[in-house]
Structure 1
Amino acid sequence: MGRGKVELKRIENKINRQVTFAKRRNGLLKKAYELSVLCDAEVALIIFSNKGKLYEFCSSSSMGATLERYHRSNYGPIEAHQSPDNEQEYMKLKARVEVLQQSQRHLLGEELGQLGIKELDQLENVLDTSLKEIRTNKNHRMLNQLSDLQQKERNLLEINRALRSKLEGTSAALQSTWQLQPAEHNVQYQQPPPILSDMFFEPLHSNNIRYNSVEPNNVAGTTQTANMVLPGWMH
């Protein structure tokens, strides 16, 4: 049997309506995908349920790009169809930007020929005020840097003082040690002279000593005679 014709009207039964929505939504998304693949078409599908839930499909990389293409295709460029209020706001912002750019050029010393005496005086006052603020800021930063450097100097002096005190203490300890060492090493022990035994001495006998007159010409004979007369241990 063939499928009966479905009457197109709102389904009153809530459950049947939800089931039909789910089936036909999935079928529609499937058809959109098949159309984009088979026919190489750019397809964008947007579905909102009755509760506001979004379901979408886009064959391109971005839904926004497809919508912008759709807008250009139907209405032309977006800028050409701005509302009058937006156009006026745009013109005001554009004029303000041009004024600011011109003021910047004047501050840089450019395009001053078209200015009168009054405008030049105002520009000079603006530059003086800016220069004063710049100098004030510069002096403030320099004072801060000077204060930091002075604090660093005080810290370094404290460290130097502590190191010097430590070095002086170490030097004093070493000096006291050096003064004690010579006294300890230079101690001389006094010992009595050794007693010589009588065996080292040989008695002298007066009968063996002879005194002879020595002539100048008989020096050699006298030396020989003396050697003969003296004891053996005195040779």
Structure 2
Amino acid sequence: MTKPARNKIKIRKIDNLPARQVTFSKRRRGLLKKAGELSVLCDCEYAVIIFSATGKLFESSSSSTKDVIARYKAHIENVEKLEQPSIELQPDRIKLSKDLAEKSRVLRQMNGEDLEGLNIDELQKLEKQIEGGLSRVLQTKEEKIMSEILALEAKGAQLLQANNQLRQRIGMLSVANGKNAGVIALESDNSTAEEGLSSESGTSGSSCCANGSSPDDDSADDTLSLKLGLIPYRG
């Protein structure tokens, strides 16, 4: 069975004095308890100082209330020193501010702004400065372009050389593959001829033996010479 939801108490001053004192006592103990738990859980220092409506003091701290207050004061003083620049640095700060404002004004004038307060001499001086800066910019730009063009040409030459080397290697591989194919075909032809020769020799020998004649006879030599396509030689 679910518990009924508690109504939230509206935060405002309690008019009933006894109820206000009871609430103060309960809430004060709960606040100090939570502060102590926070110090233990998170390893932090705390100090709580409470004055009641009657002027009674209630305090609690992790170590010593005076030490925590002294640390708080030192921290506040250091923060104030960091936020406020020292008197010795004031002249330098003013000078830097003036220099920054002057540089900003010159930059705006170089961009064609805030020219109303300049006389003819100042405008001519500004024009020369802009022309000098423009010529230096154009010169630097041309140097950069030429450097990039030279780099691209060098890279193109390297790629062309690598391409030629690859073509030479492909040609050499093609020639080598052709030679290997010729050798293989020649070996195949030789093996075929040898097989035919051996088979024909066996057939002739067997027929000669069957007829009762010797393999060294002239007819056998003539037959073998005609099949090999050779002119018989008789010494």
Question: What band does the TM-score fall into relative to the shorter chain?
Answer: 0.3 to 0.5
TM-score (norm 2): 0.46
- Structure possessing the higher radius of gyration over alpha carbons: 1
